[in-house]
Structure 1
């Protein structure tokens, strides 16, 4: 039996593939390599193609004995989603519909979905809990919430059991040093800050310093990418054991502002990292911090790399060794 990982050549997906391989699982990867990297895949069987291609996806399921799916394939840039929501609905929502239809056709009844804290929008309270109000402030978060809801109805109609994992800011790199974060364009704070330390940018842009936070910049809950990968495996195991469909937050429970992240990166890299205040970006909530109590109690998950200094240090190690990412650009 094999696990199908959609988007398995991407940042978080490749770390999940690595974790599955370390566990001895058979892995099948589907990725169109639009944002993913062939070099990030440490093993398994890669099918290069798009989940919206029904004929392609039908072939993947027909040629492999798939036990469950871990679904990462999606566009994920908040700013882009506000400028081109149609792209996000077509790739994220329609793509997930195509995947679910092929799962039903193939009799595959388990899916772990890579969701997001952006489903909550501006939180009513902090830390955020799973049954708090979901009111996304950007099209990206809205599509992810739509995907969650669609998956739930496929459980009602077809018995497809699911775990949706809502998480916050992924960062860091694999302890082997073989895979890390490489996006084009890059939008995540930690790699952007490290690009300044590498001399690839003159400064780091801080989008807004007038939020209702202690230093005026956005606050986020950072989590090591390998801890996220571990949680996806635990969620799949829960479904294999007969667990019901559910939603879990993943996070370390500690919030760090943009300015704090920059300060810690300065300490880790020894670089001054100049910062420049820019206007707010549309759709950015002020504070996102997770309560992961349910994931800890029901999945047995606990982040092992919860110090931001260590998370940034692991990312710095990879970026220092791979200043051009996977070297494709």
Structure 2
């Protein structure tokens, strides 16, 4: 319990000592242990001499029979701890094409953000542990993800704080035992239909058995190292994108020559930023490879379709002239505007540009 309190105190310190926080609690051992630790500071009314009030929010995803009863039982436990206010927020999980876990996460985060606004809270505490981080890294490796994904979950992201990323799941279970708490055990956490559940119940224990103890800690340490690398690369890419991007209405252009001169790690990130700038989603590695291949001027000049209804293509003067000749349009009226895009990768939303 003492170690857990230090983790929470450090997280609040790094966040600038927010005066009002919410604990996101599902009723499971991790979030219930976090609520119990937060309640200690709530009863004191301060952390390290800084004023603190603590409330809680229970998100009911309505995906399992009896979920409302679990949510309200959890809310009563949190109220008994002295947390105030305690909100129960039912949400509708809408399929997004990214899988049920991602859809539930999106709905949950939206509910947490809304609850923070309603209660004037400037931070929301999440109960993810080192085990969750290790599972995240393993899933990223299995999916062939990039640096950002392998960096795992952030200790702080916006108003979301994860104080327990340095604690094991066994620590949170012990806290619940010591505090006399009866956590709810989500059956989906052991359901082999979910990749994360298989990783938790089968894969990580198997690695610990075959490779020896400490695998989870090593994976979490890898995430911490990669987070630093990814932050640096993202910062360089963001600054580079800001200097290269040229906007024309709803379209955006990047000069080919400048892109070719970039290190691949930065070039791919700049292309992804360009896609996001015109309304797209994070492209997969294969889609990024396809878009980047346009710079080699071999084969098609595009378009390459990226997620979120974004197309990227390379436009040359020869292709422009051929396109205009076939359309019968006047070059005098079409060339000046379109020529500005030649020698560049052009990103546009679904509606095609008009030359």
TM category, shorter: 0.3 to 0.5
Q: Per chain length, whose mean CA-contact separation is higher, i.e. which structure has more relative contact order (CA < 8 Å, sep 6+)?
A: 1
Report which of the two has the higher share of helix.
2
Q: TM-score, normalised by structure 2?
A: 0.33
Higher radius of gyration, 1 or 2: 2
- TM-score, length basis structure 1: 0.35
